Every structure is written in structure tokens, then in C-alpha cells.
Amino acid sequence: MNLIAVRSIYRFEMARARRTLLQSVVSPVLSTSLYFVVFGGAIGSRITEIEGVSYGAFIVPGLIMLMLLTQSVSNASFAIFFPKFSGTIYELLSAPVSHFEIVLGYVGAAATKSLILGLLILGTASLFVPLQIAHPLWMVLFLVLTAATFSLLGFIIGIWADNFEKLQLVPLLVITPLTFLGGTFYSIDMLPPLWQTLTLFNPVVYLISGFRWSFFNLADVSLFASLGMILLFLSVCLGIVAWIFRTGYRIRP
């Protein structure tokens, strides 16, 4: 493996995050904190506890997952879209760098930025509510798998998009609504039976449920169902990325 190439791509993307610190770090942390203050304050005064956990603490895993999904997709999609848009991607494709190394550099940087943001939001939330992490290793595993998977999804979106409007289409119209409807601010047990059944077709439910279990031992679905869903999604994304480079879809003239 050409580690120099991987490190160069990775360091370039991380340096871009440092140059746009306000947009890359401060803005997501601030917006997620506002979600916490508004929903935790407004709804928390009416719903004091959910299954023995204070409402303010209950929504923290969901808010972290909301940020993790959106930022992973956004970081990775823009990272590969801009070289494609400017034409510099052909220099990268003609360099002695394998497709795996390209993906590893871009996806690794996007996932790292999302993980840093997730930990910052976790630290910020602990200033507002007392938090307990029942299974820290499982929490880290879900963070890493989710960041890597949705960074791969963002990479795919960046290849597919041919303008800036399409770049924002999937995050705004698909991922964010699914996250809000996936149990970010509530337990699906609070829904009527029909809606509980329909909600189980939302893949984000499994991610939030597993991540919340690592905090409070509370889950809407089984841990293995959550882990299986994220591994299945990861495998699908890897397969699509492999197909893109094999066929040259939207990266070769």
C-alpha cells in the first residue's frame, strides 16, 4: 500500500477542515447544541423521563447520530466532488495511487472529522445533563462504523452529483428526515402500533437504537439487529464504490 499517498490525501483534507474551522467544527457543534437546548428545554419540561432516563440525556445519542450522519455525508461528498468539478481528479487518477488508497484517504479524513465532532458534542452535552455510558467500547464501535459507512455514502454521492444542487439533495431530502423519524427525540415504543411497524423499515432506527443502548442499556430493537444493519449498509456502500471505480462511472470522460 502506498501509505505516502494515503497520508497526503488525508492530511490535505484535514488541513482544509482547519482552514474552515468555523464552518467545519463550530457551526455543527453550535447547531446541535441548539437542538439540545430547544428540544431538551421545551419538551423536557413535559416529558421528564423515558424508561427511567431523563429526557435531556435520552436525546443526546440521537443528536450525536444526527450530526454524525449529516456531517459524514457532507464532508466526504464535497471532498471528492470538488476535484471532479474542477478537473483535478484526473491528475489523481493518473497518479500511481490505487482506487483503494484514494477511497481510504478521502473517507478516512471525512470519518475522522465526524468522529471529532461527535466527541465534541458529547462533551458539550455532558455540561447540560449527567450522562452515563454503560458500554463505552460499543459506543466507540458504533461511532466508527457509522462514520465510516456514511462517509462512504457521501463519497458515492459526490461521484454521482454533477452540480452543487444534487450534492445537497440526498442529505436534505433523505438522510435528515429519516434521522428525525428514526427515534432521535423519542422512543418508537411511544408510537401507535402501526407506526411502530412502519418505523422499523427506517434503517436509521437501528443505528440510533444501538448507539443509545451503549449509553443507557435501552434499545428499540436488538443490539444484533442494529449491528447487522450497519454492517449490511457498509457492505453495500463498499460494493457500490468498487463498481464505480471498475466502470469509471462519472469519473472518466
Average pLDDT (9-19) is: 87
Which region among 123-132, 139-148, 193-202 has the lowest average model confidence (pLDDT)?
123-132
Cα(226)–Cα(210) distance, integer angstroms: 5
- Measure the CA–CA gap between 47 and 186, rounded to whole angstroms: 10
> Averaged over 182-195, what is the pLDDT?
88
Cell of 79: 471532498
Nearest-angstrom CA–CA distance, 190 and 14: 41
pLDDT tier for residue 41 given thresholds of 50, 70 and 90: low
- Are the C-beta atoms of residues 250 and 160 closer than 8 Å to each other? yes
- Other C-beta atoms within 10 Å of 64: how many? 28
Residue 30: the pLDDT is 81
φ/ψ of residue 98, rounded to 5: -75, 160
Q: Tens digits of per-residue pLDDT, 53-84?
A: 888 889 999 999 999 999 899 999 999 998 88
The helix (H) or strand (E) run that includes residue 98 is: none
Percent of the chain whose pLDDT exceeds 90: 47
Q: What is the pLDDT of residue 253?
A: 64
Contact 88, 37 (CB under 8 A): no
Mean pLDDT of the chain: 88
Higher pLDDT, 115 or 37: 115
**Helix orientation angle between 223-247 and 203-216, rounded to the nearest 10 degrees:** 130
Q: Which residues contact 140 (CB under 8 A, 6 or more apart)?
A: none
- The amino acid occupying position 216 is F
pLDDT(22) > 70: no
- Model confidence over 132-168: pLDDT tens digits? 899 999 999 999 999 999 999 999 999 999 888 888 8
Give pLDDT, residue 169: 87
**40 pLDDT higher than 70:** no
Mean pLDDT score, 209-221: 94
* 189 DSSP assignment: G
Residue 3's Cβ-count burial label (10 Å; 0-12, 13-18, 19+) is: exposed
Q: Using CA atoms, how far apart are residues 65 and 125, in angstroms rounded to an integer?
A: 13
Residue boundaries of the structural domains of the chain = 3-247
Mean pLDDT to the nearest integer, 85-97: 83
Burial 88-117 (b: 16+ CB within 10 A, else e): ebeebeeeebeeebbbbbbbbbbbbbbbbb
